Amino acid sequence: MKPRVIVIVLDSVGIGALPDAALYNDTGADTLGHIDLHCSPKLPSLTSLGLGRIRPLPNIPPSPSPKALYGKMAEASAGKDTVTGHWELMGIVMEKPLTLFPDGFPQEILTPFLKLNGLEGYLCNQAASGTEVIARLGDEHLRTGFPIVYTSADSVFQIAAHERLYPPERLYKICRITRELLDPWRVGRVIARPFIGERGSYTRTTNRKDFPLEPIGESVLDRVSSSGLPVRGIGKIGDIFAGRGLTHSLHIDNNRQGMEALVQEMETLREGFIFVNLVDFDMLYGHRNDGVGYARALEEFDSLLGEWILPRMGLRDLLIITADHGCDPYHPGTDHTREYVPLLAFSPSLSPRPLGTRESFADLGATVLSLFSLPPLGNGEGFLTIPELIPFQKE
């Protein structure tokens, strides 16, 4: 049997600004450090693995006997968005960033967008907060029927529409058409942002759907699934990789559902790769500058990790906990932040040790390929091999 490798991405849980953060207006960003400083979340499971040993944190002590390998990773790719971070984790390093539109989309995009989708107009066309833009333009949207088009600091084309005017399937169809239109522009994601409610109380629903640019090269997911091993995606993974390289993809509505789905997969899958994205940290709290909510979400994850996941880990299992970027709720603005990400790697068969500062997120993907005895992709340096994970058994 091959090992069972589980990677959990705590979406946006960065652990301090990267050296080039100033290029992204992110000097001083520190998602986990600031949440710990202001909210002091209780994280006994992560602390026991070695979270407090990655770097000094005000209220998370360094465990005297950590259970995991611990370190942090720098992002080698240009950018700080979800797609770029996840692609690099899976071995695709982006030297050229995805296209950004800080001043809104040009008419070369918007004119065919309207024509191809049979629309008479649009609203906004600015970089904006999703919750703010529906509060500001929701009434006009209902009056005109024009979808709200906006972007952010990431490479995204977001379309917000009330479900009464644009039922999710209609909005998804518009997004699919727009996705094809934007492929030559190297736009990372087209995102459907449905909302409901009436004047003064508009609320985004859980029917969000991402339509990503297809990965620009072979990923770890492609290579593992091509070898015949099962590859499960939980949460946004299927959206981020356009479904490629996954043998099964499961949508979830929140972090708890993601952990429940992981437990179900662990009960049935004995070998292969499980890739989980938990988006609440980013979507519900980081982008909304809600440090208290962020801290509570971390505490919930920590509790479920200790209660549900760690006790189910076998000798041939490896659990890696990391992130894809930062989204510091105490940093000016509501956008992602350019940060290191934590790296915790746990197995009952491993002796803990420091992993230091890794030069690329792709070190994680290189490690996954090494554990499955698959050839490397060319990016990243693995930090673990099968003999280390299973020292007394031959493959």
Report pLDDT digits (tens) over 38-85.
Answer: 999 999 999 999 999 999 999 999 999 999 999 999 999 999 999 999
**Burial call 172-207: b when 16+ CB within 10 Å, e when fewer:** bebbebbbebbeebebbbbbbbbbebeeeebebeeb
Interval 232-275: pLDDT, tens: 999 999 999 999 999 999 999 999 999 999 999 999 999 999 99
Run of H or E residues at 178: helix 168-182
**129 or 356, greater pLDDT:** 356
Question: Could you count the other beta carbons within 10 Å of the beta carbon of residue 58?
Answer: 11
φ, ψ for residue 300 (rounded to 5)? Answer: -65, -45
Residues 6+ apart with CB under 8 A from 65: 352
Range 351-372 average pLDDT? 98
pLDDT of residue 153: 81
Residues 6+ apart with CB under 8 A from 180: none
Per-residue confidence band for 1, with pLDDT thresholds at 50, 70 and 90: confident
d(CA 309, CA 115) in angstroms, rounded, equals 49
pLDDT of residue 392: 53
pLDDT of residue 154: 85
Between CA 377 and CA 381, with CA 378 as vertex, the angle to 5 degrees is 100
Per-residue confidence band for 206, with pLDDT thresholds at 50, 70 and 90: confident
| Amino acid in position 175 | C
* Tokens coding 253: 């509505």
Per-residue confidence band for 228, with pLDDT thresholds at 50, 70 and 90: very high
Nearest to 379 by CA among 391, 367, 388: 367
Question: Could you count the other beta carbons within 10 Å of the beta carbon of residue 349?
Answer: 17
d(CA 314, CA 325) in angstroms, rounded, equals 29
Confidence check: pLDDT of 395 > 70? no
In this structure, are residues 48 and 66 in contact, taking their beta carbons and an 8 Å threshold? yes
In this structure, are residues 219 and 246 in contact, taking their beta carbons and an 8 Å threshold? no
Q: Which residues pair with 248 in a beta bridge?
A: 232
* Tokens coding 118: 């049979």
> The dihedral of CA 194, 335, 328, 67: what is its sign?
positive
Match 């309207």 to its residue by tokens: 114
Run of H or E residues at 358: strand 354-358
**163 or 152, greater pLDDT:** 163
Helix 291-304 crosses helix 255-268 at what angle (to 10 degrees)?
Answer: 20
Mean pLDDT over each residue of the chain, to the nearest integer: 96
* Tokens coding 205: 């629903």
Between CA 179 and CA 267, with CA 12 as vertex, the angle to 5 degrees is 90
Helix 362-371 crosses helix 82-89 at what angle (to 10 degrees)?
Answer: 40
* Tokens coding 278: 């938990």
Confidence check: pLDDT of 377 > 70? yes
Share of the chain above pLDDT 90, in %: 93
In angstroms, how far is CA 321 from the centroid of its own chain? 12
d(CA 240, CA 263) in angstroms, rounded, equals 22
The domains found in the chain, sorted by start residue, are 4-96+213-389 (3.40.720.10), 107-211 (3.30.70.1250)
d(CA 60, CA 46) in angstroms, rounded, equals 9
Q: Which residues pair with 249 in a beta bridge?
A: 233
Helix 168-182 crosses helix 107-117 at what angle (to 10 degrees)?
Answer: 140
The DSSP letter of residue 237 is H
Nearest to 395 by CA among 52, 3, 90: 3
Question: Could you count the other beta carbons within 10 Å of the beta carbon of residue 39?
Answer: 19
> The dihedral of CA 231, 236, 240, 244: what is its sign?
positive
